A = this chain, B = another copy of it.
């Protein structure tokens, strides 16, 4: 291994992409972030194959940490190890922050300890917390030891808040000033500070007990005269967040109220940190992903970089639940074996009734799960929404009853009564589907369970059972 010699010249500068403003503006395009593409990945992998550390470094250098992280996630575990061995300096703290949990653990294990220590030291405390949460104890201890004392204290107190809480999401570094200061005092204070957070958007006003009482945007601080009291220019919307609040709720509040940054307070109302919108946006994105994956019966931690066994472990449980419910539907059909033996065409037609119900139920369910997540569906309008779904199910059911009744009569013959039976079964099943699609998530929500969790399985079981029972039951009554 020959990397050490190149340490000086090859130090990765993935963030140093800004235009050098002294240069003429023709370089404008190169100042932009270069997003990862297939060519770049190929270049890197070729260099890794060739064992050419310099070429790897040259190919990675213009990339943003988020893209280096994407690259690491998209290549195979084998290629990742080879890359890390050739060029461990490529992984700085920002790259670690961006990595998926599974890949991150692998990368951290593979990194030289000194490089790891240096990588975490450059991060804000919220990012360190994010990395630490998922690690084994011995890695956690190593990283905590690597931090400077103040940072370690901040990280440890953040870790003391519950998982997925605002306390874990916040950064402890805040910019706060006494609420009776003027703009001038504030600016002088900021100028003389020997350290400020990487990104901050508000000056937080606090009272004598360090409780936040207002938020002043930097724009207004900059634009105001020096003798203006800070309290005259605070934001009209002021939302503080309890450190114990769930992060999903934090994301919802940021999105709803268009917050940019919000102070986080402890039980006594004292300022303990600040959450910024970019972190809230990441949470919002993850929450959506969770909802989608849960509705589909996929473990909500699933990621594209998981291996076969992890993936099987995530998906098998819900398939097992589905096997049970499918057997219930099969038992319903079993009740009518005598009918099917007499009229085998029923066996071909019955899945149509079940399938239409399953689709209609999924439509209704998806709208309801989404509306519950955004709090658009509440106790106040639940009755009206249920009534609407009922009517929609009825109208759709009647439409398809006419069409499918005609098709069944034409294709499967016998007499018009086969068409009537399948039409009636469709109306029943589409009404049940529409109601089930909204009532199942409402019920789960009332039980304080996640409405997205497995609603899909419940609703399709319902529509399968009702569809088979209605169709075969009516057929037994009418056609035999």
Contacts and interface: CB of A to CB of B under 8 A. Distances in A.
Contact of A370 (B28, B75, B293): B293
B255 A304 contact: no
A395 B196 contact: no
A38 to B, nearest CB: 5
Contact of A222 (B73, B218, B239, B291): B218
B380 A66 contact: no
Contacts of A16: 236
Interface in A283-332: 284-285, 288-289, 291-293, 295-298, 302-304, 307-308, 311-312, 315-316, 318-320, 322-323, 325-327, 329-331
A190 B223 contact: yes
Nearest to A20: B231
A260 to B, nearest CB: 7
A207 to B, nearest CB: 5
Contacts of A254: 281
Interface stretch (A114-122, A128-136, A333-341, A440-448): A333-341
Interface in A250-274: 254-260, 269
Given A223-B191, A256-B66, A323 B281 contact: no
Given A21-B179, A32-B240, A351-B468, 16 more contacts: A17-B236, A25-B211, A66-B257, A76-B384, A175-B219, A296-B365, A308-B392, A312-B395, A312-B396, A315-B392, A319-B396, A320-B400, A323-B400, A330-B351, A358-B460, A362-B456
Contact of A28 (B175, B269, B392): B269
Contacts of A384: 76
Contacts of A388: 307-308, 311
A359 interface: yes
A153 interface: no
Given A292-B291, A345-B337, A322 B223 contact: no
B376 A74 contact: yes
16 contacts: A15-B236, A33-B238, A41-B378, A293-B366, A293-B367, A293-B370, A298-B367, A304-B377, A312-B396, A319-B360, A326-B351, A329-B351, A330-B349, A341-B341, A351-B468, A355-B460
A349 B38 CA distance: 46
Given A239-B32, A315-B360, A334-B348, A282 B255 contact: yes
Interface stretch (A49-57, A140-148, A156-164, A197-205): A197-205
A381 interface: yes
A377 B392 CA distance: 37
Contacts of A334: 345, 348
Which 7 A-B pairs rank lowest in CB-CB distance, beginning with the nearest?
A21-B231, A296-B366, A218-B218, A333-B348, A347-B347, A288-B288, A326-B355
A19 interface: yes
A407 to B, nearest CB: 7
A254 B278 CA distance: 8
A463 B380 CA distance: 40
A237 interface: yes
A64 B363 contact: no
B329 A234 contact: no
Nearest to A73: B376
A289 B370 contact: yes
Nearest to A302: B367
A352 to B, nearest CB: 4
Contact of A380 (B31, B41, B288, B379): B41
Given A221-B222, A331-B348, A380-B74, A396 B337 contact: no
Contact of A234 (B18, B187, B213): B18
Contact of A281 (B197, B284, B311, B376): B284
B464 A355 contact: yes
Given A33-B257, A199-B217, A222 B191 contact: yes
A362 B297 contact: yes
A211 B32 CA distance: 13
Most-contacted residue by chain B among A260, A344, A347, A362 (CB, 10 A):
A347
A108 interface: no
A119 B279 CA distance: 32
Interface in A18-77: 18-19, 21-22, 25, 28, 31-33, 38, 41-42, 64, 66, 70, 73-76
A354 interface: yes
Contacts of A316: 396, 399
